[in-house]
Amino acid sequence: MTPFPACQLRLEHTIAIGPHPKGVAAWPPGAIVGMQDDSSLTIVENDGQVSRIRTSGNGANAVVYSNGLGYMVHRNSANVSVIDFRARQQIAVIPVGNLPWGAAANENRLFVANFGDRTVSVVDLTTNQPVATTAIRSMPALVAAGSDRAYITHLDGYISVIGSNGAVLDTFGPLPDHSAFGVALDEAHHRLFVSNRQGREILALNSDTGEVLKRISVSPNVPYALTYAPATNLLYAVDAVNNRILGIQPERGEVFANLGVSRQNADHGGQGLSASEDGGLLYVPAYDARALDILRASRCP
């Protein structure tokens, strides 16, 4: 197929931030990163400045930025720290389920997938209090949030669809190879992207029905976390096995970029990936390299 010469992805900075970065979220000055070893939240600004906010939690998984606040999921203490960036401190702690993993938010709700007890916690962001804890299938992993619902991947190839009140709206699957990990939502076009690590592909689903619309092969790469940039209509995937970042044009299902990134970790890395609001910057935590890669992405024609 014809390549996309105007679609480019290049590494701009690799910033040492310490052991061991996991979740990441873009915020206006740069990115925020959850640190596994000391349970702190690292703030990385696009000009290279690095600072750190201590939390009372234990361990790190997902990190979310919403309404000017940061939310850091703590795997080992079963809670979420709420971070005020102006005060540069933790201002609240939200209890969630056992072994919380992925998380995502819309304007009003935070959704947290609790791997250990097969539940999802739904948090009201106006009060920072849980409003529902819903039982779902086993092995819930990563989360994508839309305006009125969230999508939670399960490692055995299912997707739970959860409403803002905590109700189970639907369950998609089983997906090909009984495999689902990374997830990203294109709400405007009713598309849900899911990484199939076993099949080395990314699935594009109808986000309303779960129908598989397209299977995008990325072999020999192994897709882990995904992020979709609405401003540029581009999809990105991190490969924690081969230490690569992939840029994908979803309409054509073509990989337009395949670039090396800092050392990940097939077991613990590849779980965080985030794009700036304008889609121009990507942030990739590198678990083994103890760093954050910042990449510059251009629009496609």
Q: What was the pLDDT predicted at 4? A: 41
Phi then psi for 168, rounded to 5 degrees? -80, 110
Bridge partners, 198 (sequence order): none
pTM for the model stands at 0.96
Q: What is the DSSP string of 253-269?
A: TEEEEEEE-S---TTTS
Distance in angstroms (rounded) separating the CA atoms of residues 225 and 240: 9
Domains and CATH numbers, the chain: 9-297 (2.130.10.10)
CA angle 100, 105, 110 (to 5 degrees): 55
Distance in angstroms (rounded) separating the CA atoms of residues 76 and 68: 25
| pLDDT under 70: residue ranges of the chain | 1-6, 301
Distance in angstroms (rounded) separating the CA atoms of residues 139 and 117: 9
CA 116 to chain CA mean position, Å: 19
Q: What was the pLDDT predicted at 225? A: 98
Q: What was the pLDDT predicted at 41? A: 98
Q: What was the pLDDT predicted at 299? A: 77
Bridge partners, 217 (sequence order): 201
Give the residue among 29, 33, 25, 28 at the shortest CA–CA distance from 292: 33
Query: Counting Cβ atoms within 10 Å, is residue 263 exposed (0-12), middle (13-18) or buried (19+)?
Result: middle
Q: What was the pLDDT predicted at 176? A: 97
Distance in angstroms (rounded) separating the CA atoms of residues 163 and 148: 6
Q: What was the pLDDT predicted at 3? A: 44
Q: What is the DSSP string of 104-125?
A: EE-SSEEEEEETTTTEEEEEET
CA 191 to chain CA mean position, Å: 16
Contact assessment for residue 241 and residue 266, using Cβ atoms and an 8 Å cutoff: yes
The dihedral over CA atoms of 54, 58, 63, 66, expressed in degrees to the nearest 10, equals -70
Instruction: Convert the pLDDT of each residue in 270-286 to its tens digit.
Output: 999 999 999 999 999 99
Q: What was the pLDDT predicted at 1? A: 38
